[in-house]
Amino acid sequence: KAAAAFERSFLFKALPRFLVSFLIMTGLIRFLDKGYSKYANISLREVTNSITDNALLRTVLEYIYGDYGSSPSEAPFMLHAGCLLHYAKGAYYPTGGPQVIAERIARAITKHGGEVRINSRVRAIWVEQGRAVGIKLANGLWARSKRVISDAGIYNTSRHLVPEAYCPSHIRGKSTPLDSMVSCFCLFVGIE
């Protein structure tokens, strides 16, 4: 049931925002919910604690939590069930290992005139007229770009990479990083 709720949760992401808002306001969302509300609000640890007192068995049942990067006490049970559902038909790995993914992406980027740098620490994101237009590397080199994507997280990007004027007000006053949260990100990429 939890795995079905996990799959159904993607429907809410695909529907237009106004339609989801309408479904929530009218209460019609309950017909599409399929347990989402229940399973998204209970942790994996709560479920395994309700099943057994055996710590070793709980560890076996929770073993896959590393795939989504959240401890069993913080991870929604629905996320765990969805991850297990994913593996139910078997797991697959790229021929040559996971590094092949990065190699192929790098090849596609350079083929189209881009540049890939590894082990290059970014010191700043260059902003002009409210738009990111490049980066400054630790070695002092500035690299201009049509697009800048930061994977440093909102706290580190806002507090350490962009000019203070572009730091959101709810982060500007914080001296410590924001609390971490469970996240799920699926990316489907076609590389020629």
State the Cα–Cα distance between residues 174 and 141, nearest whole angstrom: 30
| Mean pLDDT (whole number) for 87-115 | 85
| Contact between residue 162 and residue 125 where contact means Cβ atoms under 8 Å apart | yes
User: What distance in Å separates the CA atoms of residue 30 and residue 117, rounded to the nearest whole number?
Assistant: 48
State pTM to two decimals.
0.53
Q: What are phi and psi of 172, to 5 degrees?
A: -50, -45
Higher-confidence position of 162 and 82:
162
Q: What percent of the chain has pLDDT over 70?
A: 90
**Has residue 153 got a pLDDT over 60?**
yes
Q: Quote the pLDDT of residue 89.
A: 77
pLDDT range class, residue 132, cuts 50, 70, 90:
very high
Residue 133 has pLDDT above 80, yes or no: yes
In this prediction, residue 23 carries a pLDDT of 87
Determine contact, residues 39/2, Cβ cutoff 8 Å. Answer: yes
Mean pLDDT, the chain, rounded, equals 83
- For the sheet with 122-128, list strands across it: 122-128, 131-137, 142-144
Band of residue 178 on the pLDDT scale cut at 50, 70, 90: low
pLDDT-derived band of residue 180, with 50, 70 and 90 as boundaries?
low
pLDDT digits (tens, 9 = 90+) for 4-34: 777 777 777 788 889 988 988 998 887 777 7
Higher-confidence residue: 181 or 97? Answer: 97
Closest CA to 116 of 125, 127, 103, 126: 103
